[in-house]
Amino acid sequence: TRFILDLEALENSITPDTHLILFCNPHNPGGTVYRKEELQQLADIAKKHQLIICSDEIHCDLILQPDLVHIPLATLNPDIAARTITLMAPSKTYNIAGLGCSFAIIPDEQLRKQFINIRKGIVPDVNLLGYTAAIGAYQAGDAWNQKQLNYLRDNRDYLIKEINQIPGLKLNPIEATYLAWIDVSAAKLENPAHFFEQAGVGMSPGRDFGDSNYMRLNFGCPRPMLEEAVKRIKNALLNHLPCA
């Protein structure tokens, strides 16, 4: 099962006041790498309704499926490029978010000018340390990232196997990122975030992403830490008495 866009629901939600679509590829928290035909369908909707797309592609260097590639939305054709703002950063891949360096790719000159004018006084400029770290990561970090991807793949495979053996939990395949979107609905927990925190595992509550039936777990960590988290999750649920 892959998490993909409900394009019919998306189009039905568009009103005359709609001017922008926020998009995330690869998807956080679903872990989906969108295929070319899926991106094209989104692009067609944007063109039909004359919408700008802000495409967050910050996880593009974290593709876990070797047979998949990241396709930047703006590369589909000149029309979609002219209406796309692509957001990128080395912060997720290289764990340097604290240094504060991100950037936007905006091919259309007029749209780029609007972006620059609007961001003044709101979005801070890139600092020298963050800029230097970003250049270093992009120029010399690929070999390191390839090793990281292998480690993350192993963690992902371990986590999917273990989580799906725990009663009440379900974890679908993860194509990208280091984030697991765990379905906890069958566990019948009144407050999933609090429940797992009490067990010593801090996950992001699904309600922050629009669905309280899920929890988001970061598996970008040393394997022993991940194994301990799984152990705590398992023990907590085995000791949990389901609600009547």
Residue-wise pLDDT for 101-125, tens only, equals 999 999 999 999 999 999 988 988 8
Mean pLDDT of 152-162: 98
**Residue 173: what pLDDT?**
95
Angle between helix 223-238 and helix 142-163 axes, rounded to 10 deg: 20
Mean pLDDT of 190-200: 95
**Residue 124: what pLDDT?**
87
Q: Is residue 244 over pLDDT 80?
A: no
Distance CA 182, CA 234 (A): 13
Tell me the domains of the chain and their CATH numbers: 7-140 (3.40.640.10), 142-238 (3.90.1150.10)
Q: Is residue 1 over pLDDT 90?
A: no
The pLDDT confidence band at residue 241, using thresholds 50, 70 and 90, is low
Share of the chain above pLDDT 70, in %: 98
**Residue 240: what pLDDT?**
80
Cis bond leading into 205, ω under 30°? no
Mean pLDDT of 64-73: 97
Residue 135: count of CB within 10 angstroms of its CB: 12
Q: Is residue 83 over pLDDT 70?
A: yes
Q: Is residue 155 over pLDDT 70?
A: yes
Q: In terms of Cα–Cα distance, which of 225, 112, 240, 141 is closest to 178?
A: 225
pLDDT tens digits along 3-31: 999 999 999 999 999 999 999 999 999 99
**Residue 242: what pLDDT?**
55
pLDDT tens digits along 204-234: 999 999 999 999 999 999 999 999 999 999 9
Question: Which tokens go with 129?
Answer: 């340390």
Give Cα separations from 103 to 56, 58, 139 (angstroms).
Answer: 11, 10, 16
Q: What is the largest CA-CA distance in the chain?
A: 60
